[in-house]
């Protein structure tokens, strides 16, 4: 089964395709696909046959058929929203594409055609608040969340006038048959302190979710009850003790077996790893390695053996081997991938 790594280089208007050796983690450049409009977001369908790209310089989301033999991309459709999306993810069925809109302050659901193509108006578009950063459906495909970072003025939390939040998580119910979102009760979970929730990932087997706190430089873990409501049970720093420099967290991922979780630090310029309690989901710091400057994007390979971190300030992608027993990371290689890499996606294609 071939493994591919896709890197969206926003300022070069391209998405680079690389094959990955599943044993060594070594990458080989295959091709660069031209993507006008500043590609900055990537998502893949559950059947791994379609890639979706969000364009930052122009308001567009495009769909592309993936050739499993080469990793090549063929454009199949697109939609033009009012403003550029900040996050993309399909629901668990692959029939709906969920999107958050940071500047527009909303969440939307876009219908996906039978062949994975985009086209037509959104099924849903709901106002949330400025700073809407991501959206995903949970393991049951019944709930979705939209985290919003905080608005800060002179280091003081300043909620914007006339809109709810930010520094909150919006909770929604999701109907996979219709693609509609509905407010859960309560609609908002307010943060305790200046956390600024940004991205999140679900535990693969427990009813838990982990949020990267952009402004808190931390990870907050939440239980999910049977009605999709969140309750926090842990917040843990991603930084070493005593570090006082400027830092923000970016993305977050957990290995497919649920044993380790990873978060990059922008400012400290590192990737932090945590072990995950098998029954409790509690995080324990495992390792922290230096990486390329301003690691806004990273990705784990599907087997959780390697991690790839992109430096948006350097145009390079760094690879690391993950120790399956400890979660420690060993540097492997560095690759030039293009100007301002803003998303990294790793996938195993084929049957």
DSSP state letters, 269-328: TEEEEEEE-TTT--EEEEEEEE-SSS--EEEE-TTSSEEEEEETTTTEEEEEEEPTTT--
**Mean pLDDT value across residues 99-126:** 96
Asked if residue 153 has pLDDT above 60, the reply is: no
Distance CA 16, CA 8 (A): 7
pLDDT given for residue 162 in this prediction: 37
**By the 8 A CB rule, do 71 and 118 touch?**
no
- Give the per-residue pLDDT at 1: 77
- Domains of the chain are 37-148+163-185 (2.130.10.10)
Q: What is the mean pLDDT of residues 43-63?
A: 97
Q: Residue 71 pLDDT more than 70?
A: yes
Mean pLDDT of the 77-92 span: 97
Using the predicted structure, report yes or no on whether residue 289 has a pLDDT greater than 70.
yes
Q: Strand, coil or helix: what is 238?
A: coil
Q: Which residues on adjacent β-strands are paired with residue 168?
A: 148, 190
CA distance 151 to 174: 28
CB 329 within 8 A of CB 321: yes
Q: CB–CB of 263/286 below 8 Å?
A: no
3-class state of residue 108 by DSSP: strand
Average pLDDT over residues 302-331: 97
Q: How high is the mean pLDDT of the chain? A: 94
What is the spatial distance between Cα 232 and Cα 224, in angstroms, rounded to a whole number?
A: 9
Q: In this predicted model, what pLDDT tens digit does every residue of 178-188 receive, in sequence order?
A: 999 999 999 99
Q: Per-residue pLDDT tens for 171-210?
A: 999 999 999 999 999 999 999 888 999 999 999 999 999 9
CB atoms within 10 A of CB 350: 10
* DSSP count for the chain of H helices, then E strands: 0, 31
């Amino acid at each position: 089964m071939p493994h591919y790594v896709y890197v969206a280089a926003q300022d070069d208007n391209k998405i680079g395709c690389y094959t990955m050796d599943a044993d060594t983690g070594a990458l080989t450049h295959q091709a660069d696909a031209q993507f006008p409009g500043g590609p900055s977001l990537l998502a893949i369908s559950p059947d791994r046959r379609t890639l979706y790209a969000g364009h930052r310089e122009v308001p567009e989301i495009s769909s592309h058929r993936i050739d499993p033999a080469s990793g090549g991309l063929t454009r199949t459709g697109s939609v033009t929203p009012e403003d550029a999306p900040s996050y993309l993810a399909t629901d668990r069925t692959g029939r709906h594409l969920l999107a958050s809109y940071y500047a527009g302050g909303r969440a939307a659901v876009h219908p996906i055609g039978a062949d994975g193509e985009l086209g037509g108006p959104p099924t849903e578009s709901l106002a949330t608040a400025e700073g809407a950063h991501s959206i995903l459906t949970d393991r049951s495909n019944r709930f979705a969340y939209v985290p919003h970072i905080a608005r800060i003025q002179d280091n003081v939390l300043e909620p914007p006038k006339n809109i709810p939040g930010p520094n909150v998580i919006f909770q929604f119910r999701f109907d996979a048959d219709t693609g509609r979102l509905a407010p859960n009760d309560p609609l908002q979970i307010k943060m305790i302190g200046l956390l600024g929730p940004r991205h999140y990932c679900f535990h693969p087997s427990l009813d838990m979710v982990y949020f990267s706190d952009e402004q808190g430089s931390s990870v907050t873990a939440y239980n999910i009850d049977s009605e999709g409501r969140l309750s926090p049970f842990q917040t843990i720093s991603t930084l070493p003790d005593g570090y006082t420099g400027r830092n923000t967290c970016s993305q977050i991922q957990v290995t497919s077996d649920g044993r380790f979780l990873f978060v990059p630090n922008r400012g400290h310029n590192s990737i932090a790893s945590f072990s995950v309690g098998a029954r409790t989901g509690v995080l324990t710091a495992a390792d922290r390695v230096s990486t390329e400057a301003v690691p806004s994007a990273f990705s784990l390979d599907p087997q959780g053996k390697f991690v790839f971190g992109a430096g948006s300030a350097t145009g390079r992608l760094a690879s690391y081997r993950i120790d399956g027993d400890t979660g420690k990371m060993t540097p492997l290689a560095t690759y030039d991938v293009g100007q301002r890499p803003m998303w990294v996606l790793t996938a195993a294609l084929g049957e």
